Structure 1
Amino acid sequence: MDTTSFEDLPYEVQEYVGQYLDQWDLRACVGVSRAWRTLFHSYLWRHVRIVWRSDMRQTNTPTELKTNCHLIHSLGLTCDSWHAPDFFASCPPTFPFLTSLEFKGRFYGGNNEFEELIKRGGGLTAITGGWKKLVFCVKREWEGMYEYGHSFFDTLIQHAAPTVEVLRFEGPSDTNSTDISRLLCSAPNLREFRIDGYLSGYDIVNSDW
């Protein structure tokens, strides 16, 4: 009985298979042959998770990020405040096809790091269509709630609000109700919104959304 190898399948079918492999399988596939690497490499880099430490600048990670940044569609980044400057110094200036971001970390305060990430991704093109999903799971380094400031919401409204569909702020946060109202009034495609923090019923009733 004749058997059909993977290479005998039409290229369109081979590509279809790549969409359903997890990261472990994809890592194995790219090591099989040059042809398999060509086929599966883009899928391997489509969804990336990084736990950033200061010593990672001495590894191949920065080079790999800059080489493959155009392939990344979804990024899960765990990075604390004291490592954030090092990460931005090591990563590419833009992620042209990045539409999904999940950011976790501990921070003292201020949102410059988040603003920088929002600006570097979500390129509004005919292919990407801008940001689709943004999740911020931030814990304050000291006790208390993390504050998302006006500047952060200005950046969010300018670079993400027109296209974002899922937006979640996970973890205790202190957020101005006016900023929340501005954001929701600027996000016509928003399907899921979550914020763990203080927002009074009075603010909700009197909001524009």
Structure 2
Amino acid sequence: MGKHESKKGRNHQQATRIGKNQHSQKRGGRGQHNSTGASIEETTSFPDLPAEVQTLVGQFLSQHQLTVCVRVCRAWKALFNPILWRHAQDSAASSKRRWRPRRDATLLICAARGALKTNGHLIQSLRLECGDMEFSNLLESQLPLTLPQLTSIEFIGVSSTDGLIANVLRRSTAGWKQIIFRANHPQMTPCNEIQGLICGLPKLKEFNLLGACSHNVPPDPSLDASDIVAFEAGLDLLRDLKELRKVGLEDMDVNVGNFAEQAWVAYNWPHATVRYTGNPEAGPHINFDAPNSDSKREDNDDNTNYEHLVFEEYGDDELDYDAYDGAYDGYDWSAGGYSDYDPDYGGF
């Protein structure tokens, strides 16, 4: 009998302990208190976030931060590598300062190690220093034959590399939307082959032909923020580009003030507004009432920002580079993002 009671007592004690454990687990499961009664804050780790939220986080990281992230693990590389390579540029070309960045911080070293060929299919915009012949030759051999996402490109130091430029322009299969040429000298213009390629780009919304490098003058800071066109090769070059939205002629010796020229613009660029020499800040937006035009008079508000960024009356005062940087959407030109290349990952 004593043994039976003892066994019964043990069963009762075990049941009591189980009940206490279940109660403790239930309390802990609410995520409010621990075993000591202290409050517990619920947290969510980065891997638990939805994929679209993780991608949004990556878009706020600098190039250098992205290079660190892609080296954490293969899962992070798969997530952040497409963001890292979305906008690629030669760091030397992107520098606004007089000093040149470390050689290993340029896109050249990445191309030499095969990163450009491996990740070229991810590039959506590209900014290149054409004056560096070493880079130009390497680029031609390392750039993939097709660039399925590339729609925007800027060539800096255009001079004797017309063959390379034409070669690169042919490799985009997505259709060009933005092309910028910045020549070493104002008289430098793309060759006839390049002009022929540009004329056959129905999706092109922005085309800039700038010859300000020799004067160390950056382009109109609003160029990358809106669809603006500036050119020196004559209006007929772009007459069939019906998707053009804004045409900036304020840096060129071109006048579209008479009725015949305005009629030409209204017919060939039905959605465009035009600014021209003589009034670059306000510029007459002559095509507000063009048929099927989506231009609005509120576009004049852009000039408020524009006049604070350009040289006042084309003087020698230094630009406000902080405002200049902010005007460019999608480029992190000041980051040293190409300095930590890791060939084992095929990225940085």
- Aligned residue among 61, 73, 80 for 2:124: 73
- Aligned residue among 104, 123, 139 for 1:87: 139
Distance 1:171 1:194, change over 3 A: farther
Q: Write the deviation string for residues 80-118 of structure 1: whole angstroms up to 9, x where unpaired.
A: 16343342123222212101111111514x733322221
Q: Is the 8 A contact 1:81 1:106 kept in 2?
A: no
Q: Is the 8 A contact 1:77 1:104 kept in 2?
A: yes
Structure 1 distance, partners of 2:138, 2:54, is: 38
Tell me by how many angstroms 1:198 deviates.
4.2
Q: Write the deviation string for residues 139-191 of structure 1: whole angstroms up to 9, x where unpaired.
A: 13xxx611333332111112x2x0011211111599442xx3231x2111112
- Structure showing greater radius of gyration is 2
2:157 is equivalent to residue 101 of structure 1:
no
Q: What is the letter of the counterpart of residue 69 of structure 2? A: C
Tell me by how many angstroms 1:51 deviates.
5.0
Distance 1:30 1:8, change over 3 A: same
> Which structure carries more strand by proportion?
1
Give 1:1-209 correspondences, 5 Å limit. 1-50=41-90, 59-62=109-112, 63-80=114-131, 82-83=133-134, 84-108=136-160, 111-121=162-172, 123-124=173-174, 130-140=175-185, 145-158=187-200, 160=201, 162-171=202-211, 175-177=232-234, 180-183=235-238, 185-194=239-248, 196-199=251-254, 205=261, 208-209=264-265
Match of 1:127 in 2: none
Q: Percent identity?
A: 31
Q: What is the letter of the counterpart of residue 21 of structure 1? A: L
Q: Is the 8 A contact 2:90 2:129 kept in 1?
A: yes
Question: Alpha carbon RMSD of aligned pairs, Å?
Answer: 3.3
- Counterpart secondary structure, 1:103: strand
Q: What is the letter of the counterpart of residue 153 of structure 1? A: Q
Tell me by how many angstroms 1:68 deviates.
0.6
Which consecutive unaligned segments of at least 5 residues does structure 1 have? 125-129
Q: Is the 8 A contact 2:66 2:80 kept in 1?
A: yes
Q: Is the 8 A contact 2:209 2:231 kept in 1?
A: no
Using the TM superposition, name which of 62-71 and 163-172 deviates more.
Answer: 163-172
Q: What is the letter of the counterpart of residue 9 of structure 1? A: L
Q: Is the 8 A contact 2:178 2:204 kept in 1?
A: yes
Using the TM superposition, name which of 59-68 and 38-47 deviates more.
Answer: 59-68
- Counterpart secondary structure, 2:149: coil
- Counterpart secondary structure, 2:184: strand
Tell me by how many angstroms 1:58 deviates.
8.8
TM-score (norm 2): 0.48
Q: What is the letter of the counterpart of residue 131 of structure 2? A: D
- Counterpart secondary structure, 2:72: coil
Structure 1 distance, partners of 2:66, 2:171, is: 26
Q: Is the 8 A contact 2:177 2:205 kept in 1?
A: yes
- Counterpart secondary structure, 1:92: coil
Q: Is the 8 A contact 1:148 1:174 kept in 2?
A: no
- Counterpart secondary structure, 2:133: coil
Distance 1:93 1:69, change over 3 A: same
Structure 2 distance, partners of 1:88, 1:182, is: 27
Q: What is the letter of the counterpart of residue 70 of structure 2? A: V
TM-score (norm 1): 0.76
